[in-house]
Structure 1
Amino acid sequence: MIREFGQYFIFLGQLFVNRERFKTYYKLVIDECVTIGIGSLFLVALVSTFMGAVTTVQTAFNMVSDFIPKYVISQVVREMIVLELAPTIIAIIYAGKVGSAMASGLGTMRITEQIDALEVMGINSISYLVLPKVIASILMYPLLVIVAGVCGMVGGYLAGTITGIITADDYVYGLRSSYNPFTVTFALIKSFVFAFLVSSISSYKGYNTQGGALEVGISSTQAVTSSVIALLIADYLLAQLLLSGS
């Protein structure tokens, strides 16, 4: 375990050694942004919309007291989506979709000796292949979290108003009531950290693949598993650091 941590941090250090020209990275980052952002947009919007709808229905189901106003439903939905569902649950889905794709792509390049060919040409393969993925992930995942938050609240609005659980006025009032802007800041901080963890861990697992096609699948599975564990640990640590004093 300690050796694995050491190799991972050495891998991160190689990202910034013997870099290519800015123009080269610019094109690679744009390509990765399209793959990561546009490719994940539909799935993120779909999942977050239904998460908001289900959260609204379940919150209303647990409102057993007539003394609690209806707008509290949307307050609960807002806090759950912004603080946890949008950044963290979407990050797990992100690790399964984007992280596994990164690991399998780099693993395939490793077993087909494409990475070795880059090294022979004097190119730092880690910086050339991995750094654009990390930068693109850090740029695009916070935007996906914002989309998830908006879609989640819209999904809750649709589920609440169509089923008659809550009126439109009460839902909007609850979203605005007792709003703390730091919750959005906290969600964005988490999104940057999660984006870095998923992209770097998945790239590390894929880059260090050894063997054949079977090992590519194993590396992809390990990338998702390790990323999810790292996400949960980071989620707790960030909550403890940033929310415990508030």
Structure 2
Amino acid sequence: MLKLHYNLEKISMGLVAAIIVAASIGGLVEIAPLFTLDETVELPGDLRPNTPLELAGREIYMREGCYACHSQMVRSLADELDRYGPYSLASESAYDHPMLWGSKRTGPDLARLGGKYSDDWHVAHLIDPRSVVPASIMPSYPWLTRPLDTALLPDALATLARLGVPYDKEMIAAAEADALAQSRPGTEAADGFQARYGARPAVQAFDGDPSRLTELDALIAYLQSLGTLTDAPYRALAEGAP
């Protein structure tokens, strides 16, 4: 075998052909299952899409590189279940484009973060992480207090709708207004938002100030949604329990 490899290395075109064959086999093994995804992944009946404000927060999460230090995938290992909660299901990320499961954990996994901490905690943690976690090595994000740009939200929802995320025309048209409404509880606009998205998404002044809409509002809304879009993982864990 070593002699064959040695001889192949002396024939440059043969080596190139062998590399192409090996890469093609690996690619086929990884890509082929994706064509059967619709048949193998059953969407949970209670799965909801991100609201416009949560979607804006997700974009900020990616922009700031949060995915580089935090995964969003709980493995089915006992210590992970004890620390983070139910293991992740492919179906709960069906509306994610792109999905952010990842494997790097400089910081903790965030798949079940929603509701674990208060909005005030998130505000303090994002502005000055060491004010709440003294040993934290996470960078500070003081610029998140700037106003949120919502101009591209209708286009973002329309694009996701074409990919199968269940946003209707009314949701797309009201995207900018709904992003503001979700941060202003007790208003008529908030009532309209809940008529479109239901009672499950949180409606609250995420950054503590309902008179403004900031990037902090959006990012905290997204963080508070993680692990709350469906109860399927909790049901799967309960069904698998002895």
Q: TM-score range by the shorter chain?
A: under 0.3
Instruction: Output the TM-score relative to the length of structure 2.
Output: 0.23
* Structure with larger RCO (C-alpha < 8 A, sep 6+): 1
Instruction: Output the TM-score relative to the length of structure 1.
Output: 0.23
Structure whose CA Rg is larger: 2
